[in-house]
Amino acid sequence: MVRVHPEHPVHPLCCRARQSTVGWMRSHVLLVSGRSGVGKSTAALALHELLVERNVHHAVIEGDYLDLAFPAPHLAFPGADLAEHNLAAMWSAYRALGHHRLVYTNTAAVLTASSLTTAMGDDPLVTAVLLRSSAGPARARPERRNHGEVAPAELDRCSAMAERLDGEAPDFTHRVDTDDLDPAGVAVKLLELTGW
C-alpha cells in the first residue's frame, strides 16, 4: 500500500489512516520518474543543493544504479528484486542515522511505488512525480551525455517508455513539464510538491 502526501489527489486504495508513534518521524519519499534524458538525476542534484542551502536533512538514491549489472538481474534472475533489496539495505542505514526524507530517482519509479515503499519498510508518505519533456530536449540531453548521436532504436525505446509512464502512472502522480525549466527550476517545483 502506498501512503501519498496529504496534498496529492489520492486514489482511495492508496491511503489508510495515519499511525502516530511518539518519537518516530514518518519517512517521506519523493519518487522522481521520467524517460531517459528528461533530467531526473540533474533535477535531484539541484534539489539536493537547494535542500542543503536550507539545512533540510535528506538522502538521495539514484535507483537506476541499484541493479545495474550484466547480465541484467531483472532478466537473468527474475524475481530476485535486487533493486528493492539494495534500496532496503541503503534506506535502513540512512534511517539509522536519523534520515526520514528520501529523494529517489528511477525511470519507472512511479510505476513501482508499491514495491519501493514496501522495500523501504517504514510506511513512508509518497510524493510521486513524472518529469516530462518533448522529443527535442529528450533527444538532446542523452546526446550531450553520450558525447554524440543516440541510436534510433534507443530513442524509440525512450519514446515508448515516456508514453507508458504517462499512460500508466498512478492517479496520485504529479506531472512536471521540463522543456522550459532549468534544473534549478525543476528543483523548486519538486520542493513545492514535497513541502520540505
pLDDT tens sequence across 58-94 = 999 999 999 999 999 988 998 999 999 999 999 999 9
The set of cell numbers assigned to 84 is 528493492
Tell me the C-alpha distance between 194 and 196, whole Å: 5
Centroid of chain to Cα 133: 16
Tell me the C-alpha distance between 104 and 106, whole Å: 7
Average per-residue pLDDT for the chain: 86
pLDDT for residue 21 is more than 70: no
Could you state, in order of their start, the residue ranges of all structural domains in the chain?
Answer: 27-194
Residue 174 contacts residue 128 (beta carbons within 8 Å)? yes
Q: Cis peptide leading into 71, omega within 30 of 0?
A: yes
Residue 84 contacts residue 119 (beta carbons within 8 Å)? yes
* Section 4-17 average pLDDT: 38
pLDDT for residue 134 is more than 70: yes
pLDDT for residue 173 is more than 60: yes
CATH class of 27-194: alpha beta
pLDDT for res 146: 58
Please name every residue paired with 3 in a beta bridge, in sequence order, or none if there are none: 125
Tell me the C-alpha distance between 27 and 121, whole Å: 10
Residue 81 contacts residue 116 (beta carbons within 8 Å)? no
In this prediction, what percent of the chain has a pLDDT beyond 90?
71
pLDDT tens sequence across 106-129 = 999 999 999 999 999 999 999 999
